[in-house]
Structure formats: structure tokens, C-alpha cells
Structure 1
Amino acid sequence: MRPALETSRDRMGSNPFPHAVSTLTRRSPSVPKILALFTAMSLLFSPLQAQIVRIKDIAAIEGVRENMLTGYGIVVGLAGTGDKDQTRFTTQTLANALSKSGIKLDPTTIKVKNVAMALVQAELPPFARNGHRLDVQVSSIGDATSLQGGTLLITELKAVDGKTYALAQGSISIGGFAAGSGGSSVVKNHPTVGMVTNGAIVEREVPFDFLAGDSLRFIFFQEDFTTMDRAVSAVNELLGSEFARPLNSRTLEVMVPPEFRGNQMIAFVSRLENLTLRPDTAAKVVINERTGTIIIGTQVKVESVAISHGDLTIQIQEENVAVPGGGQVNAPPTVNQRNVTTEVSEEPARIYVAKEGVSLGQIAETLNALKVSPRDIIAILQAMKEAGALHAELKLM
């Protein structure tokens, strides 16, 4: 049996393949490691069928969601790493906070090197009750250099409706440090962002009566008509009747049988969430050119294609050479002359041939043998798509 991928220098003379892709590359010192990782991931995702999963792993119930809370607070107790005195919003906010306690100060006279203004954020989970505690993230919004050792003063956390849902306060943990002296500094992690564990208390609940409804909707994370059809079949098979209907390729509506309404709703949802099915996905290749990351979907296939790759290296060196006047009378003084040297080398092109139906992971393995950099692999994939040899969606991040 002939292997799926072949190396050939002679086949291209007759050009039996309808698509050819050519690219010129520059070598990268990190290519072997990056390509090894890329090939491993390609082989990892090479199965022809997706795994069986639970509905709860690929969908969420409409209305059961987090809500973002934000607020602006004051961090005190910093060891000289706070905002500068010229940070007007810090001095003004501190003056306003002190005025509520009956302390009147001129904002221009306040020194704030131990104080910092911060953005305070938290997530309000579904069904959170009064008294429930939340973790809080605190981020400096001024020019403070570190929040290490700081304490967040009581801060209102509001949702997009403008209502206060939680109050935050407590000591900040940053998991790092920043120190320096005499113009040098050492920084570990990110000292201007920290956490207050269990630092917020829920004061207002989000109204949501989950048990009162006679229907519920599952919102799938990825839209796909085939997956939706399989989900509808699985639910109706479980319930023994046509209780489920698709609203579109992402939304599944399920009518709750009378015997499961009210207090039995939780048990009903549990049974639905644990139903298993085999999701289907469209062939897709996700590319992040900035980082060189390439993710290949399980359904990606290619037609017969020939890939030509030539290694091109361009090296430009520039140096300054001192040219003396030669010791003659009235000779010009010594001057610097710039010499530029350019070297170009190119190895003979190598042609790799892939048969119809071969997976992109196998092509990646062959490109690894070519020592092609991730950026050049991206160029090859784009050219294959343009030539009609790659049947998949290319998504650029």
C-alpha cells in the first residue's frame, strides 16, 4: 500500500495534481519545538469522529448565567507605591470619601503616594442569595506601581442596570511584588492587579424563578444543525414524546411534562443535562498569526495537492569602518564609512504530494520534515484554501 504522503521531484514534470502551492520561508531558531507541538496537536485531533459528550458540556440553560459587577474603589495602606500627587481623580475621590465622614480637605493638599484608585470587578453567579460571598479582582487605574499590602475600602459593585448588588472590602493579595532602588527594579508577576478572596457580600438578588416555568431552553455554545437534530432526537427519545423542538441551529426548547413541573424541575433538568450525543462540527482551521498558533478541526480534509517549499535565507550585515586621511598634508580627517554586505542563499525546492482525502494533520507532519515555520504553514494553508484544495473554514484571530 502506498503511503498517503509521498516525496517526489519527478511527479511535477507531468503535473498530475490540480493544485500547487509554493512559498518562500525564512528559518526560525524555535521552529523545531513549535513544529513538534503543532504536529502533536494535529495528530491529537486526528480522529474522524467526535467524542460522545453530555448536553451540559455543550449547552447552557437560558437565564442561568453570571452577571458582571463593577465599581471604583480606593486602595489604601500602600508603601509609597500609590498614585502620584498629579493624579487628580485619586485626590478628588479621596477628598469626597473623607467628606462623608465629616473631614473637609482641599484635594490639592492631599498626598496620595500610599493611596491608589482601582477598578473593582466581580461575577455574580446564578441563584446567588443575600449574604453570598464573591471573589473580587482589583486593578489599578492610575499610575500606582504596586498594590502590594493594600486594603480596599468599602466599594459598591453595580450591574448594568445601575443597581448595587454587592459591597466589596478587604486586604488585597497580588501574588507577586515590585521592588527597586537607584534606578533598578525587580518585578514578579503583575503587581498592579490583585484579588480579595471572598471580599464581596451579595446585598441584592437577581429575580429569577426557575421552578415556575413550563418550558426551558438550551443554548448551544456552537451552532450546528446536525448537532441540534441529534439533541432533539435524544430528548424526545428520553421523554417518549415530542416535547423538544429546535428554534434554530443553536436554541433547543423543551416543554416540561406536567409531572416534572414545580419541585421536580431540578430532577428533570438533571436528566436532560446528562443525556449524551455525538456533536458534529464543520471543518474549521483556526489561525492566530500573531502567535503562530494553528488549531485543526477533526473534519478537515484536503484534495490532491502538491506543496513546493524553497528555503530562502537573506542575511544583511552593516558595519562602520574608520577610514584615515592617509597621513598626507591637508588630508581630510578620519571619517566613518558604512559597508553593507548582503548574502542570499536558497536550497533546492522540495515537492511533497498529498493524496485526496488525506488529513491536514498528516500534511502538518510532512511540513514538519520540511522544517517549515508556523507563519509559513499559515501561508501554505491560506494558499491551499485559495486553490480549492482545503475544504474547511479558515478563521483568523
Structure 2
Amino acid sequence: MRTGLRCMTGMAVAAALLSTPAHAGRIKELASIEGVRSNQLSGFGLVVGLDGTGDSTTQMPYATQGLKNYMDQLGLPLSAAGAAQLQMKNVAAVLVTAQLPAFARPGQLIDINVSSLGNAKSLKGGTLIATPLRGADGEIYALAQGNLIVAGAGASAGGSKVQVNHLSAGRIPEGAQVERSVPTPLQDGTTISLSLDATDFQTARKVATAINRRFGNGVALAMDGRTIQVKAPTTPNERVNFIAELEELPVEETIAAAKVIINARTGSIVMNQAVTLGPCAVAHGNLSISISSTPVVSQPNAFSGGQTVVGEKTSIDIKQDTGKIVQLPASAKLTDVVKALNSLGATPQDLLAILQAIKSAGALNAELEVI
């Protein structure tokens, strides 16, 4: 099963969460059924009814072109000259995205996200007009329309501006209606395949063992570290009942591979409870360089014909803190690893280099991953 991650961020690997006893998890929390998945939908649309906060016609021609095409479909074609005279302050070109859930049927409603494509100042109070949403195959699977919900506010006057949250993106709950379903191969063949969320041979073996213990030997077969093939009933109702019972089966605890995740941009460090530390000694010192500049004015004597010259006097100070050698004892638990690292008194950014050095020395029993 997945073990809890212990997060260490802030000041020098700050305080880590204490380890808690792991417990068995269900198959539905460790794996998913292959073929049962959602699909991404997207489409180009127009938001109308804005209070002068729409796209600029000169800088965003898509809004003008989109409105012209929409009017043509309504039987009200615009000439090129007429389209050029449109004032689009109340219209914004947007990109509409949604997720089509597995087993979705025509007539069902799904949520959609609406994001500005141009330079609209705000989508607040706008209405999305009928927008077809297409899948990766180019087919239309849903039709979106409705009033936007924008969780923000803003005001400007006299060159001053105040804004709360993001105004160029919004959401329409149940704003799209499914027009076409996606076939799901759930009922095909005599077997189904379980796909683990993470590749792990130990977990794959224990999932197969749990299924065989409940339904009989030979029902489940671990194909690799991520896939388990399961024999299933062929009738739809029996297969659904079989899957529902299968997903609730508990799986024995598994210990995840020891791993330390390092975010070099933020200085965050995350490690799981399988991380252990071998005995080692660490010395770390800080080098600081200070540069100060003081203006210096050279004033010529009276009637000398010289010019006043402004220069700078620069001083550079280099200071290196003494680094003491700290002995880190062998640590078999996450809490002991945290205490040992905190004893160094290093900042999170310094710990990035220290952890990599300890790993290179063979004293850190974990995989380092930098993101």
C-alpha cells in the first residue's frame, strides 16, 4: 500500500510529521480498471454581455472573427466592412475545457472551465454562448452554454487598480450537455486488467494474492509490476457485481521504496518513512560576500577651470563561517533522520547540497529525485 509521506519544508527541514502506523488499503485505492477513464474535451467560444471588459478589436481578431461566424450561422451575415466596425468591448474570445467522465451518456450534464484567450480585463457577469466541445478525434461530444461564475472582483480609477483573485477565468457548473458517449471496453473479453497507480512488483503480487484468496486460485495473475489480469464473469450484471466486490478487497501493507523528493526552486524536501541514514560525518560552512559602495565627490579649486567629478568608493568584505564536523549516527526511523538533519542547523537550500553529498557517500539509503 502507499505509505504516508512526511513533508519537511520551511526552516532547515522544519518539523516533520511523526510516523503513524500504516494500515491495509483497498484495491480501489491502489489500482484502476484499464479502459475505464475520462476524456479531455475543449472548444473555442465567445462570452458576451461583459460590462466593457471584453477583448480589444485591434489586438484580438479572434473575437471579431468568432462573432462574425456565429452571426453567419444565425442567418445574419456581416460584410467585411461591417465586421471591421464592430466594437467588441462586451465580447471575449475564450477556450472552454471539460472532462468527459467514463460511462457518460447523452443528456447528462458536466462542469466546464472557461478561460480568456485574449486581453479581456474580466469575464465577470458574462454568458457563454453555445460552444461545441470536441475530443482528440475531432468529434463533438458535448455542447456548452451558460452564465459564468468568476470568484473575484476588481476596480480601477485614476491610474489605481485593486483586484481580488483572477478575473479572466471562470467556471460553469453543469454547463455542458453530453451529446455523444464514448465506448468503454469494460464488457469485452473474459478478463479485465487492473493497472496499479505506481509500479511496484511487491504490490502487484499482493493484489493478485488478495484476489485469489477471495475468488479462488488462478483468477488473478500479475503480469508485471503494474498490471494484474483478472478473470471476470461475461454477463454485464455479474461483471459489475464482481468488480464492485473486487475493489473492496483489502491488501496487505507494503513498504514503498525509500525516496527523497527535492524541489530545487522552493527548497522543499519530502521523504517517506522508508528512508534510513547510515553513519557519516558532515562539515558545512557558509561563505558570504558583502559589497558596499560610497559616493565620492571631487570638487576642483575655485577659478581652476576644472569640473566636479562624482565617483564611487567600493569595499568588498568576504566572510566565511567556520564549519564544524558533525557526526550523524545511523538512523532507522524517519524521526531519527529528521533529528539528525536538523542537528546540522542548515537551511533548506543548504540541505539540498548536503543530502546529495550524503547520497554520493553511500550513507543515505534512498533514491533522490529533483523536481
TM-score (norm: length of structure 1): 0.84
- In structure 1, distance between residues paired with 2:185 and 2:236: 10
Task: Show the counterpart of 1:10.
Answer: none
Q: Secondary structure, in 3 states, of the residue corresponding to 2:286?
A: strand
Task: Show the counterpart of 1:348.
Answer: 322
- In structure 2, distance between residues paired with 1:166 and 1:33: 43
Contact 2:331/2:337 (8 A) holds in 1 = no
Give 1:90's match in structure 2, choosing from 63, 72, 84.
63
Contact 2:262/2:370 (8 A) holds in 1 = yes
Q: Secondary structure, in 3 states, of the residue corresponding to 1:102?
A: coil
Task: Show the counterpart of 1:135.
Answer: 111
Q: Secondary structure, in 3 states, of the residue corresponding to 1:127?
A: coil
Contact 2:9/2:348 (8 A) holds in 1 = no
Contact 1:219/1:251 (8 A) holds in 2 = yes
- In structure 2, distance between residues paired with 1:150 and 1:93: 16
Distance change in 2, residues 1:183/1:369 (3 Å): farther
Task: Show the counterpart of 1:306.
Answer: 281
Q: Secondary structure, in 3 states, of the residue corresponding to 2:285?
A: strand
- In structure 1, distance between residues paired with 2:9 and 2:199: 35
Q: Which amino acid aligns with 2:281?
A: A
Task: Show the counterpart of 1:152.
Answer: 128
Q: Structure 2 matches for 1:313-352, cutoff 5 A?
A: 313-319=288-294, 321-352=295-326
1:60 CA displacement = 0.8
Task: Show the counterpart of 1:101.
Answer: 74
- In structure 2, distance between residues paired with 1:244 and 1:98: 58
- In structure 2, distance between residues paired with 1:355 and 1:303: 7
Distance change in 2, residues 1:236/1:208 (3 Å): same
Contact 1:145/1:178 (8 A) holds in 2 = no
Q: Which amino acid aligns with 1:231?
A: V
Give 2:259's match in structure 1, choosing from 284, 306, 315.
284
Q: Hey, which bits of structure 1, 4+ residues long, moved more than 6 A?
A: none
Task: Show the counterpart of 2:142.
Answer: 166
- In structure 1, distance between residues paired with 2:361 and 2:258: 17
Distance change in 2, residues 1:375/1:360 (3 Å): farther
Q: Which runs of 5+ in 1 are unaligned?
A: 1-31
1:102 CA displacement = 2.2
Give % identity: 39
State the aligned residue count. 359
CA RMSD of aligned residues (A): 2.2
Q: Which runs of 5+ in 2 are unaligned?
A: 1-7
Give 2:271's match in structure 1, choosing from 290, 296, 308.
296
1:211 CA displacement = 4.2
Q: Which amino acid aligns with 1:70?
A: S
Q: Structure 2 matches for 1:1-397, cutoff 5 A?
A: 34-35=10-11, 38-41=13-16, 43-44=17-18, 46=19, 50-86=22-58, 87-105=60-78, 106=80, 107-208=83-184, 210-211=186-187, 213-257=189-233, 261-277=235-251, 278-319=253-294, 321-359=295-333, 361-397=335-371
- Deviation sequence 1:217-271 (CA, Å, 0-9, x none): 111111011111111111111112211001110011110157xx43122221122
Contact 1:78/1:150 (8 A) holds in 2 = yes
TM-score (norm: length of structure 2): 0.90
Contact 1:211/1:263 (8 A) holds in 2 = no
Q: Which amino acid aligns with 1:364?
A: V
Q: Which amino acid aligns with 1:126?
A: A
Higher relative contact order (CA 8 A, sep 6+): 1
